[in-house]
Amino acid sequence: MVAQESGEDRARQPNLSAADVRAAYRLFLGREPENATVVEGLRLTASHDDLRLMFLNCEEFRSKHPELAGTKFVRLDAPPLEVEWRASERVAAELLAHIQAVWTRLGHERPHWSVLSADRFAPEHIGDTEREFFRSGEHNLTSLLACLKRHQLSPEEFPRLVEFGCGLARVTPHLARVFQTVTACDVSSSHLKIARSIATAAGVSNVSFSLVQSAEFGMEQSFDLWFSQLVLQHNPPPIIALILQRCFSLLAPGGVAVFQVPTYAVGYRFQIAEYLGNIAAYDGMEGHVLPQPVIFQIAAEAGCQPLEVWQDNYVGQDTAIWTSNSFVFRKR
């Protein structure tokens, strides 16, 4: 629905008809209005100029016509974020236990939607869209291979791949076709149960599954390639930092880490005491940030150097508010 601009502080002389409002919906959004109430509300409170600006600036129009609406980014003069990212072992265990409980429940209630949060993958629709859901993992493999190719690297150089946050194995079987061995990690036992059945049904025999828990985060042995997308952002900053520290420490010399994580969000802050004091309120999917300087610091301390960083659109939010980055690091 198009957000209505408040008119409390300025007088208007509306001159719109219901036909005008419906025509605007068809012209800008290519669809009919949600209902008659929306039409009447806009007719009574908006002018022609108001209506035009509303549609030009609404998220639905911008997503359908990015070439017309343009792309907005977080301002370069944005202030630094207050993000507490170091945590004691006890606090880290408490944070991880919370995330594990939430995601295990989501795996029972809305497994596919929790991986790709689109209405068409909700439980009531997944019977018709499950094939599309698992086929979409091919795109993630394609983007990973293209990334390696940009640095003159081939899959054969990375026989041991770790997929962090495998969910329901949406991407896992695609990775297993290309890489010699795959270790698929996830924090949710309910997701892993489905993932194992998917891998078995796909005839995949070179994948092992690992539950993310304790300070090891499901990673016990050295590996050559670490891959993670649409995962880290759902963890509080201290957990993201600890996952990356574990990843970089186990990455073999010459190994590569390819991952995505939001690095800025306007108005975002994270203080451990505040979060733990209100932790019961965080009973669903969360969105968090780990600033770029922290990521570079953790990588440098582990002897990893950046090969590539780019701004992506994986968060699926307004890019004027959120900045998400994809990183490529290589162990010296």
CA 240 to CA 106: how far, in whole Å? 20
Residue 318 parent element (H or E): none
Band (pLDDT 50/70/90 cuts) for residue 28 is confident
Strand partners, 306: 329
Sheet containing 223-228: give its strands across.
207-211, 181-186, 160-164, 223-228, 251-265, 322-331, 304-312
CA 102 to CA 188: how far, in whole Å? 8
Under 8 Å CB-to-CB from 178, ≥6 apart: which residues? 141, 145, 155
Alpha-carbon separation of residue 151 from 15, 218, 328 (angstroms): 59, 28, 10
Alpha-carbon separation of residue 129 from 109, 122, 126, 133 (angstroms): 17, 9, 5, 6
pLDDT digits (tens, 9 = 90+) for 57-113: 677 776 776 655 456 788 888 999 999 999 999 999 999 999 999 999 999 999 999
Alpha-carbon separation of residue 55 from 3, 11, 246, 322 (angstroms): 9, 21, 46, 22
Query: Exposure of 4 by Cβ count < 10 A (0-12 exposed, 13-18 middle, 19+ buried)?
Result: middle
Q: Going from the N-terminus, what domains does the chain have, and what CATH number goes with each?
A: 18-69 (no CATH), 82-331 (3.40.50.150)
Higher pLDDT, 273 or 55: 273
Residue with tokens 């899959």: 155
The two structure tokens encoding residue 317? 């939010």
Sign, Cα dihedral of 281, 325, 148, 116: positive
**Does the global pTM surpass 0.75?**
yes
Under 8 Å CB-to-CB from 17, ≥6 apart: which residues? 43
Relative to beta strand 304-312, strand 160-164 is unpaired
Summary mean pLDDT of the chain:
90
Supply the pLDDT for residue 14. Answer: 47
